[in-house]
């Protein structure tokens, strides 16, 4: 071994690295996320990957929709002929913060063993813990390729404000998909909004993509512990309960009483979702929320909502549902306050059971195709 040999090793290594980086940038294998060991070597996840402390939750948050769906049990196999496929979309309450997969709405519906039109109802939890109608629309757009027979969409007012639409990381980091939806459904969103991340040349290189590549890899690795333990989030033995005492502030997203300005709410996105499903029936659910009894509860229902704004939004939803002929369930107050966990929309298993009962009733009333 001499110095020229060492120099050649270094130079060749560098050249190979630069070449592979260039090839990666040129090819930009966006569909890399579709390669997944889930549903093959590992059990498919019951809900989307999401989590902060991966070492304890065996889960992580990422923006790659291909990878998220590929890791989900919905991608396990083609839809069986005897399956009535229900997809459930929504926010963290649908995903099931502090709930085990079988305790969520989709999990409980699945466990009920119901059937309709001679087919077994199989519910898939496609909720994701950020609250934005646009995020739900992005998920729904992708999920329709899995041929649902019914879509259940749980919403809450907090998903409607215009300034919440693009802030979800999944939305912000899937700019091309969002722009496509904006164009296709004429959504009331700005495709040039700086919140949407448009990767540049360097972002598409191997180095620029290192974080997302690492996330894809980590998602596969945590498939082992998900399969081994069935754990996909941290279940603390204790947590701060949802707030029930409030100050007198009743502004909502810079909106002041007494009148709620509907132009500040993304009804257009909601209607796009209703149109997107086409002939597939969709049940729209105003999800249960905490009605607190505490200091200034006469001004606010809970941490999220002042009463004036929520009441007016509910009214708007009812009117629009009636005019539009939506299949709409307003279940805002069906769960008692003691069945909420750490936020105004996160339910206990018992609370989830109350919700499931009502949703199941409506599901069973669907007409056969």
Partner 1 sequence: MTLALILISIVVAGVLGLVLRNRWRIQLLLGISALAVYTFQPVLPVRELDFWLPTATLAFTTLTWIITTPHDKLSWKSNWPTAAILCGIVLALGLTRIQGFSLHLTASRPPQTLKIIAGVAAVALFAFLLTHYTKPNKAVLTCALVFFILLFVTLKVPLLSTLISKGLRSLNQQSTSLALAQDFRWLGFSYIVFRLLHTIRDRQSGRLQVVSLSEYVVYVIFFPALTAGPIDRIERFVEDLRRPLKLTSDDLGEAGKRLMLGLFKKFAIADVLAMIAMNATNALQVHSVGWGWVLLYTYSFQIYFDFSGYTDIAIGLGRLLGIKLPENFNAPYLKPNLTQFWNNWHMTLTQWFRAYFFNPVTRVLRSGKKPLPIPVIIFISQVATMLLIGIWHGGTFNFVIWGLWHGLGLFVHNRWSEFTRAPFAKLSARWKAVLNFGGVLLTFNFISLSWVFFALPSLSSSVHFLRVLFGLA
Task: Name the site residues for partner 1 (rule: CB under 8 A).
Answer: 1-3, 5-6, 54-56, 217-218, 221-222, 224-225, 227-231
Read off the tokens for 364.
């069973």
Residue number with CB closer to partner 1 (58 or 160): 58
Cβ closest to partner 1, residue 5 vs residue 201: 5
Phi and psi, residue 189, nearest 5°: -130, 155
Token look-up 């459904």 returns 185
Least distance (Å) from partner 1 to the CB of residue 191? 38
Rounded to a whole number of angstroms, the minimum distance from the CB of residue 179 to partner 1 is 35
The residues pairing with 42 across neighbouring beta strands, listed in sequence order, are 38
Of 205 and 227, CB closest to partner 1: 227
* Cα 191–Cα 267–Cα 364 angle in degrees, nearest 5: 120
With beta carbons less than 8 A apart as the criterion, state whether 267 and 311 touch.
Answer: no
CB of 53 to partner 1, least distance (A): 11
| Residues 6+ positions from 99 with CB-CB distance below 8 Å | 107, 347, 349, 352
Structure tokens at 355: 């919700």
Instruction: Considering the complex, state which of residue 102 and residue 271 has its C-beta at the smaller distance from partner 1.
Output: 102
DSSP assignment letter at 346? P
Shorter beta-carbon distance to partner 1: residue 230 or 357: 230
Min dist CB 5 to partner 1, Å, is: 7
**Smallest distance from partner 1 to CB 219, Å:** 11
- Please return the burial class of 204, using the count of CB atoms within 10 Å of its CB with bins 0-12, 13-18 and 19+: middle
């Amino acid at each position: 071994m001499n110095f020229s040999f060492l120099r050649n090793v270094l130079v060749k290594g560098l050249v190979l690295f630069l070449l592979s980086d260039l090839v990666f940038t040129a090819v930009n294998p966006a569909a890399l996320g579709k390669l997944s060991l889930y549903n093959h070597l590992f059990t498919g996840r019951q809900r989307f990957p999401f989590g902060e402390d991966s070492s304890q939750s065996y889960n992580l948050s990422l923006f790659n929709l291909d990878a998220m769906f590929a890791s989900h049990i919905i991608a396990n196999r083609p839809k069986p002929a005897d399956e009535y496929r229900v997809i459930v979309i929504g926010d963290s309450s649908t995903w099931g913060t502090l709930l085990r997969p079988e305790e969520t709405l989709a999990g409980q519906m699945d466990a009920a063993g119901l059937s309709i039109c001679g087919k077994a109802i199989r519910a898939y939890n496609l909720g994701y813990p950020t609250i934005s109608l646009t995020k739900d629309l992005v998920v729904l757009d992708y999920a329709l390729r899995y041929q649902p027979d019914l879509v259940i969409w749980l919403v809450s007012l907090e998903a409607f404000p215009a300034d919440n639409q693009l802030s979800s990381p999944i939305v912000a980091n899937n700019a091309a998909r969002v722009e496509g939806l904006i164009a296709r459904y004429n959504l009331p969103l700005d495709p040039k909004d700086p919140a949407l991340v448009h990767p540049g040349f360097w972002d598409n290189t191997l180095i620029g993509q290192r974080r997302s590549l690492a996330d894809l890899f980590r998602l596969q690795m945590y498939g082992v512990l998900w399969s081994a333990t069935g754990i996909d989030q941290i279940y603390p033995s204790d947590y701060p309960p949802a707030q029930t005492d409030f100050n007198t502030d009743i502004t909502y997203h810079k909106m002041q009483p007494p009148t709620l300005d509907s132009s500040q709410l993304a009804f257009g996105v909601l209607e796009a979702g209703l149109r997107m499903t086409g002939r597939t029936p969709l049940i729209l659910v105003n999800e249960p929320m905490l009605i607190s009894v505490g200091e200034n509860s006469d001004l606010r229902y809970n941490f999220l909502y002042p009463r004036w704004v929520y009441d007016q939004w509910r009214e708007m939803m009812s009117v629009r549902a009636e005019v539009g002929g939506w299949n709409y369930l307003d279940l805002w107050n069906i769960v008692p306050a003691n069945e909420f966990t750490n936020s105004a929309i996160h339910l206990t298993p018992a609370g989830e059971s109350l919700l499931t009962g009502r949703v199941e009733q409506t599901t069973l009333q669907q007409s056969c195709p």
